[in-house]
Each structure stands twice: as C-alpha cells, then as structure tokens.
Amino acid sequence: DAKTTQPPSMDCAEGRAANLPCNHSTISGNEYVYWYRQIHSQGPQYIIHGLKNNETNEMASLIITEDRKSITLILPHATLRDTAVYYCIVRVAYSGGSNYKLTFGKGTLLTVNP
C-alpha cells in the first residue's frame, strides 16, 4: 500500500497559517493525494485532493512540488476548531476502475493554540 510520511504533531497559533507537510517517495503519475481530518473521535472530514497542480477550495490550499513527492496542506487562517488529526493519503485505485480504498496512516496532530 502507498505510504506517506507526516510529522506526528505540530502546533500553530490561532489566526496564523498552518502548513502541514506530507512526503511520499514512490508516488506515481496517476495517483491522487487526498487530505482528510478527524476532529476528536468524529468521522473523517474531507478537505481537499489533487494530482499534479496546486489546488484551492474554501477550506484549504494544496501545494504539490513538481516531482510530486512533497505535498503541503495549508490552512490559511487556523482557528481553534481546526485542532485535529490530519491525514495525507495517496489513494490506491482498483485496476480498471475509478474507485478506490483509502489507506490511513497515523497522520499529524495539529494543535491550534490561542
């Protein structure tokens, strides 16, 4: 299964940008990267996904290096409610199909401090 490397924990001051790194040494050209977060023990919440280009939505931005081995999630103005475990996932697609299963690692515990 595809595996990503994330720091186990990070701190961020409220109102500042939170930059969460994710590395993958063997990602291939057609493998998408997804970010989810899990607040306390709630169900994982989808944040954003991308392939090659940088992406932005109402929640976050995704910065992908040209070799695609480094993927950074940016929360532009972190709030206390953004405290959660953030998972960077390189999804594993089923051959011949477009659906896939998600392989979760340990993620990064982001703590936003007042």
Partner 1 sequence: NAGVMQNPRHLVRRRGQEARLRCSPMKGHSHVYWYRQLPEEGLKFMVYLQKENIIDESGMPKERFSAEFPKEGPSILRIQQVVRGDSAAYFCASSPPKPGQGGETQYFGPGTRLLVL
Residues lying near partner 1 in the complex (CB under 8 A) are found at: 30, 32, 34, 36, 41-46, 49, 51, 87, 91, 93-94, 97-107
Nearer to partner 1, 13 or 51 (CB): 51
Bridge-partner residues for 37, per DSSP? 45, 86
Nearer to partner 1, 46 or 76 (CB): 46
Nearer to partner 1, 97 or 114 (CB): 97
Q: Is 82 helix (H, G, I), strand (E, B) or coil?
A: helix
Q: Are 18 and 10 in contact (CB under 8 A)?
A: yes
In terms of Cβ atoms closer than 10 Å to its own Cβ (0-12, 13-18, 19+), residue 32 is: middle
Closest distance to partner 1 from the beta carbon of 72 (Å): 20
Nearer to partner 1, 51 or 80 (CB): 51
Closest distance to partner 1 from the beta carbon of 14 (Å): 26
Closest distance to partner 1 from the beta carbon of 65 (Å): 19
Closest distance to partner 1 from the beta carbon of 56 (Å): 16
Pairing of the two strands 61-64 and 100-101: unpaired
For residue 39, CA distances in Å to 2, 45, 109 come to 24, 8, 10
